Structure 1
Amino acid sequence: MAAQQSQGIQTLLEAEKEAAKIIAQARQYRVQKLKDARSEALKEIEEYKKAKEQEFKAFESSHAGVNQEAQAAVDKETEAKLQSITSSYEAQKDAVVKKLLDRVVLVKPELHRNLKKAGQ
């Protein structure tokens, strides 16, 4: 009977060792699968980034002409307004300077209106 018990214990120990090996293999398999999944996900992310970057560049190139035309129109309008302002300045600067000098130089001394009321 002791031989049977020791043989049964030996069988159980061997089964336990076998189970531990199977569990270790399963853990290694799981770790490897996680690593593979991460690398696959990174590859997919890179491919997606490249695709979106190409899409953006295509969109940008197709709309670049519109932006350049709009910029040219704005620049032309700005230049026209600047010329208008400059010509207006040149035409009226002498008259404005004369008016300023007349106001400063030609002083007409008179009493303040509040002073007249008090003196009456």
Structure 2
Amino acid sequence: MAGQQAQNIQALLEAEKEAAKVVQQARQYRVQRLKDARSEAAKEIEAYKASKDQEFKAFEASHAGNTQTVQASIDKDTEVKQQEIRAQYEGNKEKVVQKLLDRVILVKPELHRNLKKLN
């Protein structure tokens, strides 16, 4: 009977060792699957980024011509308005200087309206 018990104990120990190996393999498999899933996700992210970058560059290229055209139009309008302002400046410069000189040179001394005459 003692021999039978020893064999049963030995069989249980071997079964426990086998179960520990199976659990260890399952853990390793799980860790490997997580690593694989992460690497696959990283690849998908990179592919998605690349496709979105291409879309953005295509959008940018298609609208770049519009931007340059609009900028040229704005520059032209600005130049026209600057020329108008310069022309008005040149035309009115002498009048403004003359008005300033008249105000400075032609002084009419008179009492202030708030000053009352003392009796």
Alpha carbon RMSD of aligned pairs, Å? Answer: 1.0
1:87-117 CA-partner distances (Å, limit 9, x unpaired): 11111111101111111111110111111xx
Give the 4+ runs in structure 1 shifted more than 2 A: none
Higher helix share goes to which structure? 1
| Local SS of the residue matching 2:110 | coil
Structure 2, unpaired ranges of 5+: none
Q: Please name the residue that 2:52 is paired with.
A: 52
The answer to whether residue 38 in structure 2 is matched with residue 38 in structure 1 is yes
Q: Between the two proteins, what is the percent identity of the paired residues?
A: 69
Q: How does the TM-score come out when normalised to structure 2?
A: 0.96
Q: Please name the residue that 2:13 is paired with.
A: 13
Aligned residue type for 1:69? T
Count of aligned residue pairs for this structure pair: 118
Q: Please name the residue that 1:90 is paired with.
A: 90
Q: CA deviation at 1:68?
A: 1.0
